[in-house]
């Protein structure tokens, strides 16, 4: 483990500087203050998980005057006026204390360098390098299309306020990594933003004075990731069953079992069957949704417990679905309401109902310890784990309304962002209660600071079923890289995407290209999407099914290599999917690459993410020789290679001299 560098203060004639290691991060002078406080009023509108947020800033005060006594700094608007902000330099960070609760806005300017690159921000889907843009940090639906210039995004906006933009994400986090080899984290649960547009400084904004500003420095990016993962939490090792084959997603009632046999007969290596509709279906205008009463639906899946046991005897796990809300027309809603476990309205003692799109739900109030324990034991423990489930999608952590009344009395504006982390802990506690940590596997799309301490696997959320720049297949690579630098070791996505609206449907090419990419990720899982009847499914085309089956066998063959990467993740926090510069820091050409990745130190994967491409350009990092996985041809690093890349042969290379060379060399014959 890299030893953490302490933050320190250096006094200047007219102010001070803050350093971490040998990196100056803040310079505060009377003429150019770095710290600002103020007050404001939020304007928030939520519609089905999509938020329109504005700020009415009443006051923004530059704190020009600094009084320094050792590690303590008191900041005021001017000499002779009362201090409004107190800073205390502590090991690893800066503790902040505001003069009073009326100060509910905070801004900090961090030193910027020309050409500096910035990564992190949680899971960012559009831009891996955040330099030059502003990123609001608020967990929400990511939006459909996510590009205001496209017709798809416009249609989503005008019909459901759900178009989104480049910065919308299920999993934001106020943490970034700089190419100056330091990382900075804002310890706050409030709405926040990173503004990287000014060439002279990065401005951090928070709608509450943060408790701490933390910083790390290291001589290498590997060292930074180790420190960040130690701070925020490391996931347990992925179970062998999850990396040893594909998890086939089907939501076709009892027909799912018959269809699964078609996958097996086609030669697919199957480790799990995921039926999110195990609780029953509710059909809406959006598509086929689930019935949010978290127990097996015998009408849709008769004899499910026995079928799960039969699959288990064949080495195939069964997975389901759950989220932290209860349908108002379900029996568990009544049970929770009778116990007082649902969040209430602010203006009455009525239960707060959330519109999820043609059906209403109650919010389980996890700030009530008894409610959290009830959900973990009564629902996840008894109805899921004891029933035989080995995993599930733990969905929808990002929907907490800001005007809800919670048991702990904290304002919804301050509970909204941490809600996914609280939700993750409920799931993790349930798994631990059955002694199945590291065996039962749930996956989440929503997150905030600390989610990785509880969530064993991220999934990239609801991409559109296409190749689009801001909402298609390529976004999941950026999501894996950005979240991975913060210590989220394991990431995967829905093969084929999820969201099909306004006539946007899957093609066979998209499914096959997505399958190729998924074979070189920790977990390979398919999804039928929100409108399965309108979209091509993997088993709906013999060619697509045969291709998928081959990719599952390649994924399974890589299990010994991936198992070693999982062990490394437990020990160091290093993600399995890594930006090229993580291992090739001296190669400047690696830094702009954001749609290719190292899979561990020895594989380079550059998925084809555009339609109709038979060739693909791949940058091979300097400092190593690279062997093409399919032809076994050797190439020197430090060059852009134009690679023949037909479907079935995605651009993948291994590092010459790898101890896994024999394993890699055998993949082409599968």
DSSP string, 441-488: EEEBS---TTGGGT-S-EE----BSS--TTTSTTHHHHHHHHHHTTT-
Length of the chain counted residue by residue: 670
Give the residue from 171, 146, 191, 161 showing the smallest Cα distance to 49: 161
For tokens 């700089």, the residue is 178
What phi and psi values does residue 522 have, to the nearest 5 degrees?
-60, -40
Cβ–Cβ under 8 Å, residues 55 and 40: yes
In this structure, how many other beta carbons lie within 10 angstroms of the beta carbon of residue 535?
22
d(CA 603, CA 597) in angstroms, rounded, equals 8
What phi and psi values does residue 569 have, to the nearest 5 degrees?
-60, -40
d(CA 361, CA 304) in angstroms, rounded, equals 26
Q: Which residues of 256-281 are buried (b: 16+ CB within 10 A; e: fewer)?
A: bbebbeebeebebbbbbbbbbbbbbe
Q: Regarding beta strands 603-605 and 615-620, do their DSSP bridges make them parallel or antiparallel, or are they unpaired? A: unpaired
d(CA 192, CA 137) in angstroms, rounded, equals 5
In this structure, how many other beta carbons lie within 10 angstroms of the beta carbon of residue 456?
25
Q: Which two tokens stand for residue 27?
A: 């310079």
| Strands, E assignment, 349-451 | 353-355, 360-363, 391-394, 404-405, 441-443
CA dihedral sign, ordered 433, 437, 443, 446 = positive
**Residues with catalytic function:** 395, 398, 462
For tokens 């949680």, the residue is 122
d(CA 618, CA 598) in angstroms, rounded, equals 12
Q: Kindly give the interhelix angle for 559-572 and 542-557, rounded to the nearest 10 degrees.
A: 60
Give the residue from 44, 77, 78 showing the smallest Cα distance to 60: 77
Q: Which two tokens stand for residue 260?
A: 């699964």
Q: Which two tokens stand for residue 612?
A: 């109709």
d(CA 118, CA 369) in angstroms, rounded, equals 38
d(CA 546, CA 541) in angstroms, rounded, equals 9
Supply the DSSP symbol for 532.
G
DSSP string, 595-660: S-EEETTTEEE----STT-SEEEEEEPTTSEEEETTT--EEESSEEEEEE--TT---EEEETT-TT
């Amino acid at each position: 483990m890299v030893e953490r560098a302490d933050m320190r203060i250096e006094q200047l004639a007219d102010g001070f500087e803050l350093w971490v290691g040998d990196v100056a991060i803040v310079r505060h002078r009377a003429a150019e203050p770095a710290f600002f406080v103020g007050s404001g009023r939020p304007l928030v509108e939520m519609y089905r998980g999509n938020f329109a947020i504005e700020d009415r800033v009443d006051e923004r005060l530059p704190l020009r005057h600094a009084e320094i006594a050792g590690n303590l700094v008191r900041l005021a608007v001017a000499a002779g006026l009362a201090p409004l902000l107190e800073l205390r330099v502590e090991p690893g960070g800066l503790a902040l204390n505001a003069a009073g609760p009326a100060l509910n806005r905070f801004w900090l300017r961090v030193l910027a360098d020309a050409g500096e690159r910035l990564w992190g921000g949680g899971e960012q889907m559009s831009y891996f390098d955040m330099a030059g843009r502003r990123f609001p940090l608020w967990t929400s639906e990511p939006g459909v299309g996510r590009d205001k210039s496209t017709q798809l995004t416009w249609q989503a906006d005008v019909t459901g306020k759900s178009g989104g933009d480049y910065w919308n994400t299920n999993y934001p986090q106020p943490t970034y990594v700089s190419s100056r080899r330091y990382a900075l984290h804002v310890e706050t649960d409030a709405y926040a933003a990173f503004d990287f547009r000014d060439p002279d400084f990065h401005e951090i904004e928070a709608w509450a004075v943060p408790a701490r500003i933390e910083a790390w420095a290291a001589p290498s990016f590997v060292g930074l990731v180790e420190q960040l993962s130690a701070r925020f939490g490391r996931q347990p090792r992925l179970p062998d069953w999850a990396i040893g084959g594909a998890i086939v997603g089907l939501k076709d009632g009892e027909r799912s079992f018959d269809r699964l046999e078609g996958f097996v007969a086609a030669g697919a290596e199957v480790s799990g069957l995921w039926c999110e509709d195990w609780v029953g279906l509710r059909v809406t205008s959006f598509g086929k949704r689930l019935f949010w009463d978290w127990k097996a639906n015998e009408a849709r899946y008769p004899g499910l417990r026995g079928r799960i046991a039969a699959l288990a005897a064949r080495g195939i796990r069964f997975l389901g679905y759950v989220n932290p809300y209860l349908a108002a027309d379900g029996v568990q809603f009544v049970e929770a309401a009778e116990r007082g476990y649902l969040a209430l309205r602010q203006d009455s003692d009525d239960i707060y109902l959330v519109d999820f799109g043609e059906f209403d739900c109650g919010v389980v109030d996890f700030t009530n310890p008894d409610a959290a324990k009830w959900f973990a034991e009564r629902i996840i423990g008894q109805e899921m784990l004891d029933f035989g489930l080995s995993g599930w999608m733990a969905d929808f952590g990002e929907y907490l309304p800001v005007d809800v009344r919670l048991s702990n009395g904290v304002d919804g504006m301050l509970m909204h962002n941490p809600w996914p982390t609280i939700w993750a802990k409920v799931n993790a506690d349930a798994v631990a209660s059955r002694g199945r940590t590291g065996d039962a596997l749930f996956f989440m799309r929503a997150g905030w600071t600390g989610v990785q301490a509880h969530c064993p696997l991220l999934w990239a959320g609801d991409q559109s079923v296409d190749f689009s720049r801001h909402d298609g297949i390529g976004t999941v690579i950026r999501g894996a890289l950005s979240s991975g630098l913060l210590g989220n070791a394991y990431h995967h996505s829905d093969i084929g995407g999820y969201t099909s609206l306004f006539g946007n449907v899957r093609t066979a090419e998209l499914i096959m290209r997505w399958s190729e990419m998924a074979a070189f990720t920790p977990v390979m899982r398919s999804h039928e999407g929100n409108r399965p009847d309108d979209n091509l499914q993997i088993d709906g085309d013999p060619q697509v099914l045969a291709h998928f089956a081959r990719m599952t066998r390649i994924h399974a063959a890589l299990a010994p290599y991936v198992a070693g990467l999982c062990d490394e993740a437990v020990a160091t926090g290093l993600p399995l999917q890594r930006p090229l510069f993580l291992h090739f820091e001296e190669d400047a050409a690696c830094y702009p690459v954001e749609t290719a990745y190292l899979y561990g130190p020895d594989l380079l994967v550059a998925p084809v993410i555009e339609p109709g491409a038979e060739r693909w350009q791949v940058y091979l990092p300097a400092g190593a020789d690279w062997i093409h996985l399919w032809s076994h041809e050797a190439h020197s690093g430090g060059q852009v290679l134009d690679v023949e890349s037909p479907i079935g042969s995605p651009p993948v290379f291994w590092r010459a001299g790898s101890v896994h060379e024999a394993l890699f060399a055998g993949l082409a014959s599968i």
